């Protein structure tokens, strides 16, 4: 691939969805995006938007191959298409959830990469099969360009053993690869890099704590651009209280509930889909709904907010101890960017660590990029919108150009 202007297609596949976006590089300009929903179930549809207009289609979409074909048609739609011909695409970047211990960075996809993604299906049974289906469908649509895998877990492969090993018999790690893998790596890598640049600092002497707070939530300690600890673990269930996930709990609670008649499947659903803000409040997994209920005097809603902030503070405090000196604290994700009041709740008790929020700046910055700490705060607190799709496009462009 030449170093001239390139058009990179970024694909993120779920079990019943295919999301895509076209980026013009190296300008980092989004030319348009779309999504195909309800793959394999009735009522399939595609919606794509760009400057030229909106494309909408309803169709039976039995598999990801058909979804990719529809994507190709929409991309080149004569009136509202993003590009004139698929030959304009110079590379394809794929979000892949789990790369196991094999990959610590993004890679050009070949047979060995495909095999590794397949081997890690047991570690990400809900995600890796869909990611593979998307890769194969896109390779059929665009067989003559390079395809790149960008792994959610890759950024955290720099964790030291002290951070990734559990206090379990060693053979569980050696034989079954049970360890902390961490997720949201592409987001943490992106916002940490952007925050360091925004603050006009050098990555080589800057330490960052990155808080990706959304329906899924995680925190990462980043020393000199390398992840050294992260809150999600063997699965995305560990760590913070999230929208519907419990986060950290005493493992014996599972045994206790099993003994009282709960099935394994019921507990899996409870911990992943019925806990977190939703379970604590009994109202919603959406922070806005919970805050509204708390304002009306709902005690459970207030408890949910307090628990959420308490858990985030705990992790920030722990990572501050391990990273020794924190230069930047970053908030990103839906709650991290838009949850102005939650940001204040989290930071209100961190003054002893060197975090001092300016309430006016916090209100003014909102969901845009900006500093919300005071001028005298030893730790700069930055709100930074994440853009995993752009990071995937950057990686794809760099690898295929090289």
Joined tokens for residue 239: 């760590």
* Active site annotation includes 152: yes
Nearest to 54 by CA among 37, 73, 33: 33
Give the residues across from 11 on adjacent strands: 20, 94
Joined tokens for residue 148: 């790149």
- Positions in the chain whose pLDDT score sits under 50: 1-2
pTM above 0.95, yes or no: no
Joined tokens for residue 375: 């001028």
At residue 277, the pLDDT reads 98
- Residue in 60, 85, 110, 152 annotated catalytic: 152
Terminal Cα distance for the chain, rounded: 8
Give the residues across from 54 on adjacent strands: 49
At residue 1, the pLDDT reads 45
Instruction: Quote the CA–CA distance of 373 and 370 in Å, as a whole number.
Output: 9
Q: Cβ(74)–Cβ(52) under 8 Å?
A: no
Nearest to 326 by CA among 382, 384, 388: 382
Query: How many separate helices (H) and strands (E) can be counted in the chain?
Result: 15, 14
The SS3 of residue 71 is helix
Strands (E), 160-313: 207-213, 217-223, 226-230
At residue 367, the pLDDT reads 66
């Amino acid at each position: 691939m030449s170093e001239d202007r390139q058009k990179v297609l970024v694909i993120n596949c779920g079990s019943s969805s295919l999301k895509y976006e076209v980026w013009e590089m190296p300008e980092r300009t989004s030319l348009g995006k779309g999504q195909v929903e309800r793959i394999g179930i009735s009522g399939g549809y595609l919606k794509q938007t760009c400057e030229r207009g909106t494309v909408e289609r309803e169709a039976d979409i039995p598999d990801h191959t058909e979804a990719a074909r529809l994507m190709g048609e929409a991309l080149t739609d004569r009136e509202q298409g993003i590009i004139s011909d698929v030959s304009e695409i110079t590379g394809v970047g794929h979000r892949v959830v789990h790369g196991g211990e094999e990959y610590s960075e993004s890679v050009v996809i070949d047979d060995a990469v495909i095999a590794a993604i397949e081997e890690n299906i047991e570690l990400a049974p809900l995600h890796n099969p869909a990611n593979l289906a998307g890769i194969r469908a896109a390779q059929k649509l665009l067989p003559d360009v390079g395809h790149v895998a960008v792994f959610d877990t890759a950024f955290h492969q720099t964790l030291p053993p002290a951070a990734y090993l559990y206090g379990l018999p060693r053979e569980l790690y050696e034989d079954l690869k049970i360890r902390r893998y961490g997720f949201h790596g592409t987001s943490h890598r992106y916002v940490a890099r952007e925050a360091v640049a925004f603050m006009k600092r050098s990555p080589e002497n800057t330490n960052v704590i990155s808080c990706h707070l959304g329906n899924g939530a995680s925190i990462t300690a980043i020393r000199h651009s390398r992840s050294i600890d992260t809150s999600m673990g063997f699965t995305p269930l560990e760590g913070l209280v999230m929208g519907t996930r419990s986060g950290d709990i005493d493992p014996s609670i599972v045994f206790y509930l099993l003994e009282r008649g709960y099935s394994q499947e019921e507990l899996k659903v409870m911990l992943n889909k019925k806990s977190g803000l939703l379970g604590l409040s009994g109202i919603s997994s959406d922070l806005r709904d919970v805050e509204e209920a708390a304002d009306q005097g709902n005690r459970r809603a207030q408890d949910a907010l307090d628990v959420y902030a308490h858990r985030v503070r705990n992790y920030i405090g722990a990572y501050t101890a391990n990273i020794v000196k924190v230069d930047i604290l970053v908030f990103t994700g839906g709650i991290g960017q838009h949850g102005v009041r939650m940001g204040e709740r989290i930071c209100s008790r961190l003054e002893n660590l060197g975090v001092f929020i300016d309430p006016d700046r916090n209100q003014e910055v909102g969901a845009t990029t900006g500093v919300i700490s005071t001028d005298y705060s030893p730790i700069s607190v930055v709100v930074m919108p994440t853009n995993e799709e752009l990071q995937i496009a950057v990686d794809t462009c760099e690898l295929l150009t090289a």
